[in-house]
Amino acid sequence: MNRQVDLETLTRAKAHSGTTEGYMPGFGNDFETEALPGALPQGRNSPQKCEYGLYAEQLSGTPFTAPRGQNERTWCYRIRPSVKHVGRFSRIEMPYWKSAPCVEDHIQSLGQYRWNPVPMTDAPLTFVSGMRTMTTAGDVNTQVGMAAHIYLATADMEDEWFYSADSELMIVPQEGRLRIETELGLIELEPLEIAIMPRGMLFAVKLPDGHARGFVCENYGMKFDMPGRGPIGANCLANPRDFKTPVAAFEDRACEGRVIIKWCGQFHETPIDHSPLDIVAWHGNYAPCKYDLRTFSPVGAILFDHPDPSIFTVLTAPSGVEGTANIDFVIFPERWLPAENTFRPPWYHKNIMSELMGNIHGIYDAKPEGFVPGGMSLHNMMLPHGPDVEAFEKASNEEQKPVKLTNTMSFMFETRFPQHLTRFAAHEAPMQDDYIDCWAGLEKKFDGTPGVK
Ligand SMILES: [Fe+2]
């Protein structure tokens, strides 16, 4: 006998959805969203005529034939097709936004480097013109490697939009909120959150606080993905539901504006007489998203010997060689340290990967002095580094009760490629000339007699 379900008696979830208003949860989901009722075709992608007189257009983030689990594309239903958002291009200069390879003869990238925060400026800089490249790695023309930037922004992008054909952009605000108006919807971002802007996605950045500073990882290679969790299982670290993709939003507005395009390391502009943010509905899995770093659920040592820092990987951009990332994005969040008879800070090491760190907020446990919010450090390929003398002595001698590390959020852009300093990083950014001295006080304790010193 069939059981009949009376739909009228069910309490339907729609009116009580727990999702954040304006966003859809999930990482890499196949989303669908419409800003006007009926704008999104059902059951097909390309009807003979679209509702509202919209144009159907596909944005492909992977080659058509990429394996199903990696294949990414989004169908957009827009007021004008993208060919109407670009005209003839003119080359423009963005002298501080560099692309790999950018290896300058007189700049030495081998060394332990650390920088104080680049000071804010009164100059009228947008998110794009205020981009300052610190390091580059790999080659933008072969779509491998990355660049690490800081941005200083004091001006909204008014009637100005940008996309990078070169790269996916991971935006890590450190100071000031960002309102990112993208083709696929609105992302409102604040420090301790990150946003991912896919390659080719048009957007403009507005500054609700009037100024902003932060970090950007420009990924020339395959897209960021969630790392495999292995024996950790199905939960913890970054959880997919905490990634938020915006719902569709559009504007139908005339203006005298321009679109800026980064393509093979060069910048171009093209005039536009209307807003290109004209997608009324879309569906697909190639979309921007944001993520709150405070929702990362760390897993770590509960008896002795902490794991490698890869345990803190939020997202990883693969290189094609298994386990060898083009970029890992790693964070060092608040967490408990309960392990016993063990050295709790990061141990001394040399690494084939190149580690660029930034401090978003608070104090980093391996470097209690000198690595301040807004600051950065670089430990390049096969360059030794580790705790400074103060951190070493404290960690070696303190009574090991469980301790909660609070007031801390640093991150690392780690790449398989060596990172080369730009002229800006070497000569204009506030480099700490004495950084290497943080290890100067480490003493030889060995004298040949047994026993723990
Ligand atoms: Fe390291």
| Ligand 1 centroid to residue 264 C-alpha, Å | 31
- Edge-first strand order for the sheet with 212-219 is 23-25, 243-246, 289-292, 193-197, 168-175, 212-219, 144-153, 131-139, 420-421
CA separation, residue 342 to residues 163, 198, 390, 393, 421 (Å)? 48, 42, 17, 13, 35
Q: How many CA atoms lie within 13 A of 140 on its CB side?
A: 22
Q: How many CA atoms lie within 13 A of 199 on its CB side?
A: 21
CA separation, residue 132 to residues 129, 147, 234, 390 (Å)? 8, 10, 38, 32
**E strand or H helix that includes residue 270:** strand 266-274
Reading the block at residue 116, the tokens are 């104080």
What is the reported pLDDT for 215? 98
| Ligand 1 centroid to residue 286 C-alpha, Å | 32
3-state secondary structure 357-379: EEEEEECECCECCCCCCCCEEEE
Residue 146 in contact with residue 415, Cβ under 8 Å?
yes
Residue 205 class from Cβ within 10 Å (0-12 exposed, 13-18 middle, 19+ buried)? buried
| Ligand 1 centroid to residue 345 C-alpha, Å | 11
Q: How many CA atoms lie within 13 A of 372 on its CB side?
A: 11
What is the per-residue DSSP string for 162-229?
A: EEESS-EEEEEEEES-EEEEETTEEEEE-TTEEEEE-TT--EEEE-TTS-EEEEEEEE-SSPPBPPP-
Neighbours of ion ligand 1 (CB under 5 A): 355
| Ligand 1 centroid to residue 111 C-alpha, Å | 14
| Ligand 1 centroid to residue 417 C-alpha, Å | 14
Residue 306 in contact with residue 344, Cβ under 8 Å?
yes
Q: CA 307, CA 310: separation in Å to the nearest integer?
A: 8
CA separation, residue 233 to residues 29, 227, 323, 428 (Å)? 20, 12, 18, 46
The per-residue pLDDT string of the chain (453 residues; one tens digit each, 9 = 90 and over) reads 445 555 566 655 555 556 788 999 999 999 999 999 999 999 999 999 999 999 999 999 999 999 998 999 999 999 999 999 988 999 999 999 999 999 999 999 999 999 999 999 999 999 999 999 999 999 999 999 999 999 999 999 999 999 999 999 999 999 999 999 999 999 999 999 999 999 999 999 999 999 999 999 999 999 999 999 999 999 999 999 999 999 999 999 999 999 999 999 999 999 999 999 999 999 999 999 999 999 999 999 999 999 999 999 999 999 999 999 999 999 999 999 999 999 999 899 999 999 999 999 998 876 777 889 999 999 999 999 999 899 999 999 999 999 999 999 999 999 999 999 999 999 999 999 999 999 999 999 999 999 887
What is the reported pLDDT for 19? 75
What is the reported pLDDT for 17? 59
- Edge-first strand order for the sheet with 185-189 is 90-92, 266-274, 254-263, 160-164, 203-206, 178-182, 185-189
Q: CA 119, CA 430: separation in Å to the nearest integer?
A: 9
Looking at the DSSP bridge assignments, the partners of residue 337 are 403
**E strand or H helix that includes residue 389:** helix 389-397
| Ligand 1 centroid to residue 278 C-alpha, Å | 44
| Ligand 1 centroid to residue 250 C-alpha, Å | 44
What is the reported pLDDT for 1? 43
| Ligand 1 centroid to residue 346 C-alpha, Å | 8
Active site residues: 306
| Ligand 1 centroid to residue 165 C-alpha, Å | 31
| Ligand 1 centroid to residue 382 C-alpha, Å | 10
Residue 140 is given by DSSP the state G
What is the reported pLDDT for 364? 80
Q: CA 384, CA 419: separation in Å to the nearest integer?
A: 15
What is the reported pLDDT for 6? 59
| Ligand 1 centroid to residue 1 C-alpha, Å | 65
What is the reported pLDDT for 370? 85
| Ligand 1 centroid to residue 329 C-alpha, Å | 13
Residue 39 in contact with residue 250, Cβ under 8 Å?
no
User: In a 3-state reduction of DSSP, which class is residue 443?
Assistant: coil
Alpha carbon 288 to its chain centroid, in Å, reads: 11
Reading the block at residue 185, the tokens are 């919807």
Alpha carbon 154 to its chain centroid, in Å, reads: 21
What is the per-residue DSSP string for 99-113?
A: -SS---TT----S-E
Reading the block at residue 193, the tokens are 């959150």
Other Cβ atoms less than 10 A from the Cβ of 11: the count is 6
Polymer length in residues for the chain: 453
| Ligand 1 centroid to residue 351 C-alpha, Å | 7
Question: What is the DSSP pairing of strand 266-274 with strand 279-284?
Answer: unpaired
- Amino acid (1-letter code) at residue 380: N
Residue 200 in contact with residue 167, Cβ under 8 Å?
no
| Ligand 1 centroid to residue 386 C-alpha, Å | 7
Q: Give the Cα-Cα-Cα angle 277, 242, 208 (nearest 5 degrees).
A: 45
Nearest of 443, 446, 421, 445 to residue 431 by alpha carbon: 421
What is the reported pLDDT for 13? 53
Reading the block at residue 256, the tokens are 């005298």
